Amino acid sequence: MGIPEIITYLSAPMQRVMGLVQDSLESDVPLLNMTNRSLLDNLGKRIRPMLSLLCAGACGGIVPDSIQFAAASELLHNATLLHDDVVDGAQQRRGRPTVMSILSGPASVLIGDYWLVKAMQCILDAEHYSERVIRMFAKTLSDLAEGEMLQMEKASRCDTVEEDYLRIIYSKTASLFEAAAMAGAVSAGAPEPLVQSVGDYARAMGIAFQIKDDMFDYSDGGQVGKPVGIDLLEQKITLPLLCALEKVSPEEAGGIRRKVGQIGDHPDLAGEVRTFVWEHGGMEDAGIKLENYIEKAVFCLSALPESTEKTYLAKLARFVGGRDY
């Protein structure tokens, strides 16, 4: 899907980004230093700094500030994961024990705070545009908190509708994609229309990214790198279920929602809900909506001048929609 060639293309600036991330996290507190190094060994796909660098390249070129902002996006992303693990009570992430499960919830929060502060420091250390980019990332942090609280509220009521769902996944996922992309464009001195275009692109791609993740919850396992069924066990109503609910009467939909609300006490009901989703085409319909967001993301790139980075941005969007992990 193009990711290996993008990684190869960005290898030099990405090495600088990850070097900055590593240097930023150095501490003379042994436990903190050891934990940070362990976390650095288990980072994910690094899509956010990749996105930021590609947008900088597509909008004029990668400059030193591009490295600062890309590093900030990776630090902030992982800070939120450390916090999320506490909210979700997660025992594993990417196949390894979480900081929360090894050290404690408070330790995970504190280390997440440390990564967050280092993200802000990377932005403040940039030569240009630091105030504007700080505001972008501050908005993202506000979005993340609001999205998490809205999701908790809706999960307790099991009354999520598609409008709620889209706001939640924008706030929790797409907002950071948007900030990373726009920061990359800003670092390159792009005119405002291009900054907005890459923001629109990244917002659509971020929504698609989360839809794909939510579809994994209803998969049969296979090559998926995350446990299936977790969202349902947490009573989260996501797009595949919302699509299936549209196919039945209000009475039947209400019955399914009540089952979701009872999953906490009766986990076996999750299997019934998953069967309902598959039998009523929820996965197929969610897949169509996912593809629409991918196409919207690619369309938003039409405002950018032709470049290798623009081509890779389109490939990155299609990778997000087609990935199997």
Instruction: Render pLDDT for 52-78 as a digit per residue (tens, 0 to 9).
Output: 999 999 999 999 999 999 999 999 999
- pLDDT of the residue at 90: 86
- pLDDT of the residue at 222: 45
The dihedral of CA 219, 146, 91, 260: what is its sign? negative
- pLDDT of the residue at 228: 62
The separation between the first and the last C-alpha atoms of the chain, rounded to the nearest angstrom, is 13
Q: Alpha-carbon distance 287 to 180, whole Å?
A: 25
Fold of 3-322: Farnesyl Diphosphate Synthase (1.10.600)
Residue ranges, the chain, pLDDT below 70: 1-2, 221-228, 324-325
- pLDDT of the residue at 321: 84
Q: Alpha-carbon distance 292 to 286, whole Å?
A: 10
Q: How big is the CA angle at 142 (ends 140 and 146), to the nearest 5 degrees?
A: 115
Q: Alpha-carbon distance 34 to 13, whole Å?
A: 26
Output the pTM of the full model: 0.94
With contact defined as beta carbons under 8 Å apart, do 199 and 181 qualify?
yes
- pLDDT of the residue at 223: 45
- pLDDT of the residue at 227: 58
Q: What is the 3-state secondary structure (H, E, C) of the chain?
A: CCHHHHHHHCHHHHHHHHHHHHHHCCCCCHHHHHHHHHHHCCCCCCHHHHHHHHHHHHCCCCCHHHHHHHHHHHHHHHHHHHHHHHHHCCCEECCEECHHHHCCHHHHHHHHHHHHHHHHHHHHCCCCCHHHHHHHHHHHHHHHHHHHHHHHHHHHHCCCCHHHHHHHHHHHHHHHHHHHHHHHHHHCCCCHHHHHHHHHHHHHHHHHHHHHHHHHCCCCCCCCCCCCCHHHHCCCCCHHHHHHHCCCCHHHHHHHHHHHHHCCCCCCHHHHHHHHHHHCCHHHHHHHHHHHHHHHHHHHHHHCCCCHHHHHHHHHHHHHHHCCC
